[in-house]
């Protein structure tokens, strides 16, 4: 008798997601594709929407937040061209799904989430899945996390009104930052690459993310 969490059923759905939503649309980084085939996205979704976990859209989670659409996640990961030895900062842990993908791809992941309840549940889920190289911090990541900078890559899953200079400053030489920039109905991914100490920006896909909310008390 199959349980609702039967891994064969979900593996089949994941394979379809990888083939029809990612590979067919031009995602070609085999490490990214393999990670997306491995990580059980349904375990990061609320129980009521598990049956939609491999569909081509974002999913609502607690605190009015979302798990991003698989295709946009794949675009962002591919753009970062991650290497196994990289140290990565993630801003906006949400459910922890992207955190798990990062942990499949690199040595160390530091992830910040402003909702303590989301940070707690992601931390527990990721630890239970054996992702020991992940640290989840509850707090405001809108200015990055200078304590453990510099990073080889920074990935932001919430839209900033403009490119935050603190994040660019926390990149190592050769470091990459991917971030959605813009307001609710007009956002675009920006990829920043540090070359000879200077940031080089490439404008990428249009997108739609929840806003990156900064804690006003940090400005006082």
Other Cβ atoms closer than 10 A to 15: 12
Q: Residues 97, 131, 145, 151: which binds ligand SAM (CB under 6 A)?
A: 97
Q: Could you confirm whether 68 is annotated as catalytic? A: yes
Residue 173 CB, nearest approach to ligand SAM (Å):
25
Q: Which is nearer to ligand SAM, 139 or 174 (CB)?
A: 139
Nearest-Å Rg of the Cα atoms of the chain is: 17
The rounded distance, in Å, linking the Cα atoms of 169 and 171 is 6
The rounded distance, in Å, linking the Cα atoms of 213 and 211 is 6
Candidates 62-70, 161-169, 171-179, 200-208: pick the segment binding ligand SAM (CB under 6 A): 62-70
Set 7, 68, 95, 157: catalytic member: 68
Interface mask toward ligand SAM for 151-170; x: CB under 6 A:
------xx------------
Residue 1 CB, nearest approach to ligand SAM (Å):
31
Residue 58 tokens, joined: 């974002």
Residue 40 CB, nearest approach to ligand SAM (Å):
13
The rounded distance, in Å, linking the Cα atoms of 11 and 171 is 36
> Taking CB under 6 A as the rule, does residue 209 contact ligand SAM?
yes
The rounded distance, in Å, linking the Cα atoms of 52 and 203 is 31
> Taking CB under 6 A as the rule, does residue 113 contact ligand SAM?
yes
The residues pairing with 190 across neighbouring beta strands, listed in sequence order, are: 179, 203
- How far is residue 177 from each of residues 13, 20, 144, measured CA to CA in Å? 30, 27, 11
Q: Could you list the residues that contact ligand SAM (CB under 6 A)?
A: 65-68, 91-92, 94-95, 97-98, 112-115, 118, 140-142, 157-158, 209-210, 212-214
| Catalytically annotated residues | 68
């Amino acid at each position: 008798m199959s349980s609702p969490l039967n891994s064969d059923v979900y593996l089949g759905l994941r394979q379809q997601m990888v083939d029809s939503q990612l590979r067919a649309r031009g995602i070609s980084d085999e490490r990214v594709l393999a990670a997306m085939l491995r990580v059980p996205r349904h375990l990061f979704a609320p129980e009521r929407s598990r049956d939609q976990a491999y569909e081509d859209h974002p999913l609502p989670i607690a605190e009015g937040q979302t798990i991003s659409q698989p295709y946009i996640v794949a675009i962002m990961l591919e753009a970062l061209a991650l290497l196994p030895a990289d140290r990565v900062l993630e801003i906006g842990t949400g459910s922890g799904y992207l955190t798990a993908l990062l942990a499949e791809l690199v040595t160390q992941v530091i992830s910040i989430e402003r909702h303590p309840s989301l940070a707690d549940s992601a931390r527990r889920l990721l630890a239970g899945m054996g992702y020991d190289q992940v640290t989840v911090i509850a707090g405001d990541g809108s200015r990055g996390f200078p304590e453990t900078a510099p990073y080889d890559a920074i990935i932001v899953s919430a839209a900033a009104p403009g490119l935050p200079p603190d994040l660019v400053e926390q990149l190592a030489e050769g470091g990459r930052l991917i971030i959605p920039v813009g307001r609710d109905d007009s956002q675009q991914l920006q990829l920043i690459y540090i070359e000879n100490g200077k940031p080089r920006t490439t404008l990428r896909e249009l997108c739609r993310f929840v806003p990156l909310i900064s804690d006003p008390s940090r400005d006082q």
